[in-house]
Amino acid sequence: MARHRRGGLLVPWLLLLALLFATEVRAADINAGKTKVKMCAACHGLDGLSKVADAPNLAGNGELYLSRQLKAFRSGERKHPQMSVIAAGLSDDDIANVAAWYSAIQVSVELPQ
């Protein structure tokens, strides 16, 4: 009987976790991200392809990865002269939107012959 009760709690917890995840995913607005990345375009390009030698390509990177990196710059865990300053002014929503934009860009790769 005790095992049945424990199993009965699993479903509500899973539903709660799914709801929280779905809410976070829905919070990202690709169009808002496209607007926000205009300040990133000088280095990373609106298309996510780097315009300067020391800036990485962002197009096609995972949303979670991009969010984590921006939050690390914002918190000071990761440091870069420009990115630390830029990320300091980003809200969680801004970060989610920027990550959604760059991760939605489709990248094709061609291996050398």
Q: Are 52 and 82 in contact (CB under 8 A)?
A: no
56: its two tokens: 């990485």
Q: Which of 89, 106, 98 lies closest to 30, judged by CA?
A: 98
pTM: 0.74
d(CA 73, CA 76): 5
Q: Tokens at residue 109, please?
A: 């790769």
| 21-79 pLDDT per residue, tens | 654 445 699 999 999 999 999 999 989 999 999 999 999 999 999 999 999 999 999 99
Summary count for the chain: helices (H), strands (E):
6, 0
